[in-house]
């Protein structure tokens, strides 16, 4: 915590100076080419998407730890999604309205509300009943569900959810999992639920995949960033990072997008590098952490969203609004404090 406070003070002073002296693109050496820049509102608009990664991750962790599926707060997560989206709307009022992105958020929000509503009701009534005489993960069907929940989360950290293969686990369920065995009631109740869920998701994913491919361009898989103080070997061990240009102390890097950007950003910060620009932006970038609820707030990074982690009592998600030039300081400070840096929202 001492390291966090020291960095907080220096970062706050630097942020105050940055607010009045931030140069334009023409005032500096290297900068992200215009074709690779993304609008500053996207760091906010991507949060609802990523909440629908964080939520399944909590579900997968809970199943892995041996808790029953009916203990998951489906309805609470629906409320957290819409409350967070309301905060995002408020934070982006000053930007041109991004109708395409808002439409996408509403579609995935409504879809998740329906899914979680149905699943929450089903697990409360039938899942809880069938689990009375069976411990969590007692049947092969439960164990397959736990395995696939983790595989799904690992996949959607990199790729859109609708590209996930829901048919493969469905085939495994009916060709590799024994039809008989202990806890027969639980086995067949889970078999019915998983069959219904994966069939519906496979069909819906195919529909969304077709609609997306015809309506939207494929997103770029990289984020370009201008980084200061990058040592010659700083990108060693980061297989997707590329140094595109060097001028003085500045380097123009190509970094992977989505979750790998978070991993690379933390690695670069720990190696002493400092971010000057990300995807053409030097203003606010969001960073989410999972920290003890009692943790002091960062004085230089206002909190946009706070969400209790219902499956981990005493912990909460904090979404910080960090100036890009303070991003590395923030990552270093929270890594040193042992906090879980969940995601850097790279526009």
6-30 confidence digits (pLDDT tens): 333 333 333 333 333 343 444 557 8
Of the residues 162, 194, 215, which one is the last residue of a structural domain?
215
Instruction: Tell me how many domains the chain contains.
Output: 2
Q: Is the pLDDT of residue 130 over 50?
A: yes
Mode of pairing for the β-strands spanning 315-323 and 303-308: antiparallel
Of the residues 215, 241, 271, which one is the last residue of a structural domain?
215
> 142 with 168, same domain?
yes
> 54 with 187, same domain?
yes
> 83 with 186, same domain?
yes
Task: Please report the pLDDT score of residue 298 as a whole number.
Answer: 84
> 211 with 224, same domain?
no
pLDDT confidence tier of residue 133, bands split at 50, 70 and 90 = confident
Of the residues 188, 215, 242, which one is the last residue of a structural domain?
215
> 225 with 206, same domain?
no
87-123 confidence digits (pLDDT tens): 999 999 999 999 999 999 999 999 999 999 999 999 9
> 39 with 50, same domain?
no
Mode of pairing for the β-strands spanning 250-256 and 242-247: antiparallel
Task: Identify the weakest region by mean pLDDT among 32-46, 170-184, 289-303.
Answer: 289-303
- Please count the other Cβ atoms lying within 10 Å of the Cβ belonging to residue 119: 18
> 121 with 28, same domain?
no
Task: Please report the pLDDT score of residue 7 as a whole number.
Answer: 36
The pLDDT > 70 percentage for the chain reads 91
244-302 confidence digits (pLDDT tens): 999 999 999 999 999 999 999 999 999 999 999 999 999 999 999 999 999 888 888 99
The range of the structural domain enclosing residue 53 comes to 45-215
> 254 with 298, same domain?
yes
What does the alpha-carbon distance between residue 212 and residue 105 come to, in Å, rounded to a whole number?
Answer: 14
> 141 with 206, same domain?
yes
What does the alpha-carbon distance between residue 118 and residue 110 come to, in Å, rounded to a whole number?
Answer: 12
């Amino acid at each position: 915590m001492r390291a966090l406070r020291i960095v907080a003070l220096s970062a706050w002073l630097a942020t105050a100076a940055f607010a009045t002296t931030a140069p334009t693109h023409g005032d500096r050496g290297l900068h992200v080419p215009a074709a690779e820049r993304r609008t500053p509102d996207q760091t906010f608009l991507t949060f609802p998407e990523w909440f629908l990664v964080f939520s399944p991750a909590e579900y997968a962790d809970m199943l892995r730890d041996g808790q029953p599926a009916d203990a998951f707060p489906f309805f609470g997560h629906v409320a957290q999604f819409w409350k967070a989206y309301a905060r995002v709307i408020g934070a982006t009022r000053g930007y041109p309205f991004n109708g395409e992105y808002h439409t996408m958020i509403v579609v995935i929000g409504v879809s998740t509300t329906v899914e979680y509503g149905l699943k929450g009701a089903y697990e409360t009534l039938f899942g809880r009943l069938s689990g009375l005489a069976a411990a969590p993960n007692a049947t092969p069907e439960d164990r397959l569900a736990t395995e696939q929940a983790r595989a799904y989360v690992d996949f959607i950290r990199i790729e859109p959810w609708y590209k996930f293969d829901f048919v493969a686990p469905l085939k495994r369920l009916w060709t590799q999992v024994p039809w008989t065995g202990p806890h027969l009631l639980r086995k067949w109740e889970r078999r019915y639920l998983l069959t219904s869920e994966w069939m519906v998701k496979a069909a819906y994913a195919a529909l969304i995949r077709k609609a997306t491919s015809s309506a939207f361009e494929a997103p770029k898989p990289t984020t370009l960033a201008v980084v200061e103080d990058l040592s010659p070997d700083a990108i060693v061990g980061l297989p997707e990072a590329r140094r595109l240009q060097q001028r003085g102390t500045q380097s123009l890097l190509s970094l992977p997008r989505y979750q790998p950007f978070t991993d690379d950003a933390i690695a670069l910060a720990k190696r002493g590098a400092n971010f000057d620009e990300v995807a053409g932006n030097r203003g606010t970038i969001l960073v989410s952490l999972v920290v003890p609820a009692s943790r002091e707030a960062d004085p230089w990074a206002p909190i946009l969203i706070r969400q209790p982690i219902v499956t981990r009592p005493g912990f909460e998600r904090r979404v910080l609004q960090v100036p890009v030039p303070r991003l590395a300081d923030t990552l270093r400070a929270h890594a040193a404090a042992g906090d879980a840096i969940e995601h850097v929202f790279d526009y």
